[in-house]
Amino acid sequence: MEELFEGLLNDHLGFVVWAAVAFIILLILLGKFAWKPIMAAIADRERSIEDALLKAEAAKEEMARLTNENEQLLKEARKERDQILNEARHLKDQIINEAKTAANVEGARMIEHAKLEINNLKAIAMADVKNQVATLSIEIAEKVLRKQFADQAAQDELVADLLKEVKIK
């Protein structure tokens, strides 16, 4: 077997050496022209993937921040809306109360004015009634006196009675 092994080595030894030299040359050429660009491309791809992951993480953080900020703004907007609604309700109540107060004051003023007007008209009516009563009384007295004074004896008797009632002091 040794002979067979030696024969194979001697015949094929040159082939193995040339194959090894060709493989080493191929490795050098691939290392110089292909391996470096392939490794550079792989490194660039790793960097771009890493950058993309970092950018995605930053975008995720920014999205979370914006979401929180939006929630905060929404809470503030709701709070401001509630405050505005409360102020509007308070203002409405205040306006209603002021209107009621003004209406009550105006109503009281109108009632007082109406009472004064009624009292004035009543006084005018009473004065008119008194004038009419006085006029009627004078007319009745005049008619009574004319009838009484138509008779001369009745006139003399009336004068005598009046003189008796009047006392000189």
Q: Supply the angle between the helices 152-165 and 36-149 in degrees, to the nearest 10.
A: 110
| Tokens linked to 6 | 């030696």
Whether the Cβ atoms of residue 155 and residue 148 lie closer than 8 Å to each other: yes
Whether the Cβ atoms of residue 20 and residue 28 lie closer than 8 Å to each other: no
pLDDT per residue, tens digit, the chain (169 aa), is 555 455 555 566 778 888 889 999 998 888 788 877 888 889 999 999 999 999 999 999 999 999 999 999 999 999 999 999 999 999 999 999 998 999 899 889 999 998 898 998 888 888 888 888 778 777 776 766 666 666 777 777 777 777 777 665 5
What does the pLDDT read at residue 87?
92
Residue with tokens 């309700």: 89
Length of the chain: 169
Q: What angle do CA 147, 148, 153 make, to 5 degrees?
A: 130
Whether the Cβ atoms of residue 149 and residue 155 lie closer than 8 Å to each other: yes
Please count the other Cβ atoms lying within 10 Å of the Cβ belonging to residue 101.
10
What does the pLDDT read at residue 126?
86
User: Alpha helices, DSSP H only, in the chain?
Assistant: 2-29, 36-149, 152-165
Spatial distance between the Cα atoms of 127 and 122, rounded to a whole number of angstroms: 8
